[in-house]
Structure 1
């Protein structure tokens, strides 16, 4: 059944959401835990992932150690840089975890959750779920990812987001499997409900603009302050709207191998500092906590 596009959304009649601390702006920090799940000849794939610090120079079928090491840095170094900064700031975030990455380093996934962060499903491999042509195969991989995360961390994930686009039936599968929220949405500033014959699923929108992946885009961020200033501008706009009674949610995305690098990490620290400065005017929370509140106030 084709997915019907909704170009109207809430329109002018947007929900009046007051977040638990009295603010009208919720901020979700998201870290992608996917290194080791990307395409790699080392894993038996026909080719190497080409989206990275530099494009892979190896032809299909030839192992690319350079690209592997670009990804490896995220787990070996970037992860600890993020966890230390979050601990210093007493900030809780959501880690989108690929099942294959957790399978390879379950102790690192466990360290994330022990530090107080939420685990969420990010697909078995770092690949779009739109590539699934078989509903059963996709369901099995979602279950497998959920279960490997639960075994490694002791926490059963309730949220989902795939790289890129979903399949036509991904949301129905998530509903059937009892997921609380789906984050594959770039179409709103507020959570909303997706209705289908399978039931209702809460959608927590994400953002690709307030995201460090733009350091890898030719027309994207270059200096750390490019990213932190852009995020600051987004928050300033939402706070200005909040003063006129408009509620919103903002997602800020990080990758261990991107902003985990020393030069770019300055952006992470600047963003964390700005969030602390705005305490009381914004609510910084995990996606699970945001979903729990929305489920109470938006029917």
Structure 2
């Protein structure tokens, strides 16, 4: 690297990275002495991003990708929810408000069977304009609450923490920053929100999607379900032994295919052979944490 090399980083570039890392660390507050209810060794959240074709259309993807989204709303979500009901596993559907207009029958069905509806933005997008953001979140929460018959407490989004708290939303599942639930502050060090983290290694789209989000085709593959079963079982077992937490992120248009539903059912049935495995909704887990491990400012 020469003195005239225009690609050289600015002298304070490294310090900027250090400052950012320290800032992010200060925002993310681990929960001291984290513990589950008596008899529980691990919580397993199965979460579904039920956006159907909305994101496909927002990205103006080819017709084949849009058709995948429609499969998720017409076939996939019914098939996968039937399996969860058969296994008596309660799940959380992170649902855009528009889905209440497009597939209301699905949402009424899952609510009737004890599952949770949570926010996933109005049309799978958060706008920078505060007024639009507020209007979209308000509209989504109202639409979901009308179907569920109770307030919405969770989100999977980049909505402003202060706005979320003002609407009664107490948890988010939009981070991979830790392997256990934690509290996250906003950029001003305020408005703590409980984060229920997921990891992309437990995201079905990483294993079963071709051309996902404009990724080059050579970087994609559609993996064998038995190979994914072993990856996910090993990930679960590691956290089980550690007394940890796992959050599976599924998409009905991806995991709603028959052989993938069967794989998930085998995975759940194998998990059930171990003692102390809890399958709560995200809200059920969040309420336990908020009650037993409330956020406490560092100064207290």
Per the normalisation by structure 1, the TM-score is: 0.80
Match of 1:121 in 2: 119
Greater helix proportion: 2
Structure 1: 4+ residue segments shifted above 6 A: none
Q: Using the alignment, how far apart are the partners of 1:87 and 1:94 within structure 2?
A: 13
Give SS of 1:257's match: helix
Q: Using the alignment, how far apart are the partners of 1:120 and 1:203 within structure 2?
A: 14
Match of 2:168 in 1: 178
Instruction: Please give the residue correspondences for 1:152-231 in structure 2 after superposition, counting only pairs within 5 Å.
Output: 152-162=147-157, 166=158, 170-195=160-185, 199-214=191-206, 215-216=208-209, 218-219=219-220, 222-231=223-232
Match of 2:128 in 1: 133
Match of 2:258 in 1: 262
Per the normalisation by structure 2, the TM-score is: 0.80
1:268 Cα deviation after fit:
1.4
Cα 1:296/1:232, change in 2 over 3 Å: same
Number of aligned residue pairs = 263
Could you list the runs of 5+ residues in structure 1 that have no partner in the other structure?
A: 51-55, 57-63, 243-247
Match of 2:94 in 1: 96
1:212 Cα deviation after fit:
0.6
Q: Using the alignment, how far apart are the partners of 2:181 and 2:249 within structure 1?
A: 17
1:15 and 2:29 matched? no
Q: Using the alignment, how far apart are the partners of 1:193 and 1:8 within structure 2?
A: 8
1:257 Cα deviation after fit:
0.7
Q: Using the alignment, how far apart are the partners of 2:98 and 2:161 within structure 1?
A: 21
Match of 1:245 in 2: none
Give SS of 2:111's match: helix
Q: Using the alignment, how far apart are the partners of 2:169 and 2:237 within structure 1?
A: 32
Give SS of 1:253's match: strand
Q: Report if the CA contact (8 A) 1:21-1:283 is conserved.
A: no
Could you list the runs of 5+ residues in structure 2 that have no partner in the other structure?
A: 1-19, 211-218, 295-300
Match of 1:151 in 2: 146
Cα 1:15/1:221, change in 2 over 3 Å: farther
Match of 1:240 in 2: 241
1:38 Cα deviation after fit:
2.5
Give SS of 2:80's match: helix
Q: Report if the CA contact (8 A) 1:99-1:145 is conserved.
A: yes
Q: Report if the CA contact (8 A) 2:118-2:155 is conserved.
A: yes
1:184 Cα deviation after fit:
1.3
Cα 1:224/1:21, change in 2 over 3 Å: farther
Match of 1:284 in 2: 279
Q: CA RMSD in A?
A: 2.4
Mean alpha-carbon deviation: is it higher for 200-209 or for 289-298?
200-209
Give SS of 2:250's match: strand
Q: Using the alignment, how far apart are the partners of 2:221 and 2:247 within structure 1?
A: 18
Cα 1:8/1:96, change in 2 over 3 Å: closer
1:251 Cα deviation after fit:
0.2
